[in-house]
Amino acid sequence: MDGVDYRPHVSIVMNFTRPTATKPALLTFDEVNTFLHEFGHALHGMLSDVTYESLSGTNVYRDFVELPSQMMENWTSEKEFLDEFAVHYKTGEKLPIEFIQNIKAAENFNVAYACLRQLSFGYLDMAWHTLKEPFAGDVIAFETNAWAQTQILPRVENVSMSVSFNHIFSGGYAAGYYSYKWAEVLDADAFSVFKKNGIFDKKTAASFRDNILSKGGTEPPMTLYVRFRGQEPTIDGLLERTGIK
């Protein structure tokens, strides 16, 4: 405004494990992961370089807003990153690689089923929110048909997901629940560039900053993404990260 660059003020408020009388606050793996997630949102705001507040930082389409946050989570299990700080608070010993490998194995347990489950919710959401006439049919039959291509386990009789699906009826995700899985595709595909060039590669980081983080909602998300990535995202990065491929 008037040639002055006003920077956003961003705070991250976390409910971390507290220190005790005998030891400092030792963060769990999940707490570090959550911090990095929220730090990604913070970076999206702090590095914003736009004219209007309404287009800055996280003021983007819902199916794009989780890219910077989920992107940061990828560093949580990278040995090169953990070696910078994850040491035993008494001995200084680095976190053994075996621990990291076990964490990744645990993360990927049942991941194919979890993928199908998340897709089933997206299909169900879209089925409801693409109806063109008021619905007066059988709810259970409707949802059974909606997610038929993702169903791998027998149904529990007289149980309906639709009647308790708060996200899509009162949680702001109407016709947008797919964004959870889409964000995973984006962050895995984007991080594959860092995996290729080095997770601390400054050129790649600068490209992500300049083409995505700084732009906020000033251009269509796919335009920004392709400018960073050089192509539209594919599912390969996600399938490889989770061990499916």
Q: What does the block give as tokens for 149?
A: 């291509």
Nearest to 75 by CA among 86, 64, 65, 66: 86
- Selecting among 38, 84, 98, 232, the annotated active-site residue is 38
Q: CB under 8 Å to 112, separation ≥6 — which residues?
A: 242, 244
Half-sphere exposure of residue 204: CA atoms within 13 angstroms, side-chain side: 13
> Which runs of consecutive H residues, i.e. helices, occur in the chain?
29-46, 62-65, 67-73, 79-82, 97-107, 111-129, 139-146, 166-169, 179-197, 202-208, 221-229, 236-241
Residue with tokens 């914003």: 48
CA distances from 129 to 48, 76, 118, 123, 126 (A): 33, 36, 17, 10, 5
| Residues paired with 87 in a beta bridge | 94
Is 38 marked active-site? yes
- Active-site positions read 38
